[in-house]
């Protein structure tokens, strides 16, 4: 069970979030829909445990994975190392199997900079799923992609979620994405923002 309760989050005197409550059952997929700039990323950073300066408490599993808007890869390490370094103790064979699953087996030894943007995003997805996370956080992962690539990435994400069954928290401003990946849709609105 994942329990999120943010009583208050402020940057200086500006209150960004107030009175947020969200529970996720294991394997449940929740989409948080909200316009740009409402505080979605702030909310995600709190859930992910990156931002700890807030009032409230979050109960989260240890094994979390995250996919950002950008691939956010270690550009100075090989594609394979991008998977193994972020998962200490992961057998190299599992990492290779995951790369095979996303169609990048041949690129294991390349640096991310040698890959196309679409391939880099697939590496980011492979990195997210290879550790079989209990909670997967997706921060607008398909924004800024052209429609064809976005469709390809959404389909791949869907099938990977179906295989690993993590609880999913997706944040987006696109309703179609929210409806497609989420079982339950909540909206983040207002100033300070809250869930409705």
Interface with other proteins by CB under 8 A: which residues? Answer: 45, 48-50, 62, 64-66, 68, 70, 72, 74-77, 81, 85-88, 110-111, 113-114, 127, 131, 137
Q: Of 75 and 100, which has the nearer Cβ to other proteins?
A: 75
* Encoded tokens for 2: 């994942």
Closest CB to other proteins among 45 and 187?
45
Judge whether 111 and 126 are in contact, CB under 8 Å.
Answer: no
Q: Give the residue with the Cβ less far from other proteins, 72 or 94.
A: 72
The nearest distance, CB 63 to other proteins, in angstroms, is 8
CB of 22 or CB of 44, closer to other proteins: 44
In 3D space, the residue among 53, 117, 48, 106 whose CA is nearest the CA of residue 80 turns out to be 106
DSSP code of 73? -
In this structure, are residues 191 and 42 in contact, taking their beta carbons and an 8 Å threshold?
A: no
Minimal distance, residue 137 CB to other proteins, in Å:
7
């Amino acid at each position: 069970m994942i329990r999120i309760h943010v009583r208050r989050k402020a940057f200086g005197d500006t209150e960004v979030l107030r009175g947020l409550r969200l529970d996720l059952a294991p394997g449940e997929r929740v989409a948080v829909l909200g316009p740009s700039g409402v505080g979605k990323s702030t909310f995600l950073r709190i859930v992910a445990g990156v931002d700890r300066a807030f009032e409230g408490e979050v109960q989260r599993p240890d094994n979390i994975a995250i996919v950002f808007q950008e691939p956010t890869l270690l550009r100075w390490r090989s594609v394979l190392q991008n998977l193994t370094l972020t998962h200490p103790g992961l057998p190299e064979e599992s990492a290779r199997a995951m790369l095979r699953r996303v169609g990048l087996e041949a690129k294991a030894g390349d640096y991310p900079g040698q890959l196309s943007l679409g391939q880099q995003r697939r590496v980011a997805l492979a990195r997210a799923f290879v550790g079989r996370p209990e909670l997967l956080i997706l921060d607008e992962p398909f924004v800024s992609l052209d429609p064809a690539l976005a469709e390809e990435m959404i389909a791949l994400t869907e099938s990977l979620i179906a295989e690993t069954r993590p609880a999913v928290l997706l944040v987006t401003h696109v309703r179609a994405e929210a409806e497609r990946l989420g079982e339950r849709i909540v909206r983040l609105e207002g100033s300070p923002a809250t869930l409705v």
